[in-house]
Amino acid sequence: MSGEHRNDPERRKDRIASEYHLAVSVDCVIFGYDEEGLKVLLIKSDTPDYQGQLSLPGDLVHPTENLKNAASRVLEYRTGLTDVYMEQVLAFSEVDRHPAGRVITIAYYSLVEIDEYAAQKHSRMEAEWYDVNAIKELAFDHKAILDNCLTRLQLRLREKPIGFELLPDKFTLKQIQHLYEVVLGVKLDKRNFRRKLKSLNVLEDCGERQKAVNHRPAKLYRFNMEKYQKKKKKGMFMNF
């Protein structure tokens, strides 16, 4: 960890040596959600050492784009989606993490509505959705990347209203509660959850109800950004 502490001679970033070989990539943890649980979009690696193993979609960063652009490009290539919630998480940099050479990668996660994805399915798409809890290993250090992104997602879900990014525009209270339960891995009390959510004043009643269910249909709600912007204040959002 803090083993090699030589007092190096002066080095300056403005001396960018031409023999300096090091590549930078982005890797994308693309989360989706359906009734079964939290999903992540994975591809099969074609790197020899990890042939056929599941891995995260990613790519080298082009010289003319920043990291966010690169991550958006990868996301669009794999899902056809743009304007998606996305956040940078962490850089992974172990010297031997990639068999083909020195590659530092920056992890992003994003939240997509899984049905919208299906509709705009990319023709060359090899990617598929996998249940997050069922994933035991991935190629490279991608399992660690996934774990970090999931932890970050859980943190954010507690502190601001991003769960909506994973749901259709109109959703029931049961859906949003179930989403919180599966993403955070906790069981929540229906009445307390609803009380809390209503007190935050970020939901708008659509005036519609579920259709074609053989029981009392639930009201549909929509997330209202204006309400949130006004109400947002310091502190936690949903601290379970």
Residues with catalytic function: 126
Candidate segments 4-12, 85-93, 125-133, 213-221, binder of DNA by CB under 7 A: 213-221
47 or 177: whose CB is closer to DNA?
177
Minimal distance, residue 154 CB to a copy of itself, in Å: 11
Minimal distance, residue 159 CB to DNA, in Å: 12
Enumerate residues 202-221 that contact a copy of itself by CB under 8 A: none
Tell me which of a copy of itself, DNA, none is bound by residue 143, counting a contact when its beta carbon lies within the kind-specific cut-off of 5 to 8 angstroms. none
21 or 216: whose CB is closer to DNA?
216
Say how far apart CA 42 and CA 218 lie, in whole Å: 33
Interface with DNA (CB under 7 A), residue from 65, 131, 189, 208: 189
**Residue 233 sits in the site that holds a copy of itself (CB under 8 A):** no
Interface with a copy of itself (CB under 8 A), residue from 37, 44, 53, 59: 59
**Residue 22 sits in the site that holds a copy of itself (CB under 8 A):** yes
**Residue 239 sits in the site that holds DNA (CB under 7 A):** yes
Neighbouring C-alpha atoms within 13 Å toward the C-beta of 78: 28
Minimal distance, residue 202 CB to a copy of itself, in Å: 21
Minimal distance, residue 43 CB to a copy of itself, in Å: 11
Could you list the residues that contact DNA (CB under 7 A)?
Answer: 172-174, 189-192, 194-196, 209, 212-219, 236, 239-240
